Amino acid sequence: MIELAGRFSNMNVKRRNMNSARRGFTLIELLIVIAILLAMGGLVVVNVIQSGEKAKADLQLSQFDQIHGAMKMFKFHLSRWPSEDEGIAALWDSEVLEEEEDIKLWAGPYLEDMVAKDQWGNELIYRYPGERRGEAFYDLISIGPDREEDTDDDITNHDRILDEEGEVAEEFEDFTPADSTDDS
């Protein structure tokens, strides 16, 4: 009987040794876990970067809205948009105005801070008369993160009124500055 008990105790020790050896991870299991974690980390980084660029684009549109409010006040006082030579600098600096009468009518600064650059550090492009919606409008353009004009990532002051194809939405086609002072 003692001999039988000894055999069982030896078997239990062997089982415990085998179980303790099985408790750890094999090298392949560890590599698989690391690969999965890296893949998940890569997805997170890609999404964070994309959301960061989306946030910058939204901030750029917000900056255009702020400039548009200042442009409306400029137009209210001077009865015109700034010329292309004056640019948006006319919103904070009366010295860029071309006519003496305009300097007298100027009631700015219309913006507290100079905003000559976009969210990526590029110079804003100002065109008047505008090319996008016609001569009665002005164009403000950010060339976006690729720093090249006329590419898909360009942002304009007209982007909020564009349809899915990038054209002026039907409900805005007939809108002209003569109809209202809320134009851009």
Q: Are 149 and 125 in contact (CB under 8 A)?
A: yes
Q: Is 179 helix (H, G, I), strand (E, B) or coil?
A: coil
DSSP β-ladder status, 125-127 and 139-142: antiparallel
What's the rounded Cα separation, in Å, for the pair 167 and 173? 9
- The pLDDT, as a whole number, for residue 52 is 72
Give 178's pLDDT tier (boundaries 50, 70, 90). Answer: very low
Look at the alpha carbons of 139, 144, 149, 155 in this order and tell me if their dihedral is positive or negative.
negative
pLDDT of amino acid 102: 93
- Domains of the chain, first to last: 26-173 (3.30.700.10)
**Do 144 and 155 touch, CB atoms closer than 8 A?**
yes
Question: Residue 127 has what DSSP assignment?
Answer: E
Torsions phi, psi for 43 (to 5 deg): -65, -40
d(CA 168, CA 173): 6
Mean pLDDT of the chain, nearest integer: 80
Over residues 31-79, the pLDDT tens digits come to 888 888 888 877 777 666 667 778 888 999 999 999 999 999 999 999 9
Average pLDDT over residues 120-149: 89
Whether pLDDT at 95 is above 80: yes
Percent with pLDDT over 70 in the chain: 72
Q: What is the mean pLDDT of residues 11-16?
A: 57
pLDDT class for 126, splitting at 50, 70, 90?
very high
Q: Which residues pair with residue 139 across a beta bridge?
A: 127
Q: Which pLDDT does position 163 carry in this prediction?
A: 65
pLDDT of 11 higher than 70: no
**DSSP type of residue 109:** -
Distance between CA atoms of residues 76 and 98, nearest Å: 17
Rounded to an integer, the average pLDDT of 136-163 is: 86
Instruction: Decide if pLDDT at 9 tops 70.
Output: no
pLDDT mean over 102-131: 91
Q: What is the pLDDT of residues 75-93, one digit of tens each?
A: 999 999 999 999 999 999 9
Distances from the Cα of 31 to the Cαs of 34, 40, 74, 79, in angstroms? Answer: 5, 14, 64, 70
pLDDT of residue 94: 94
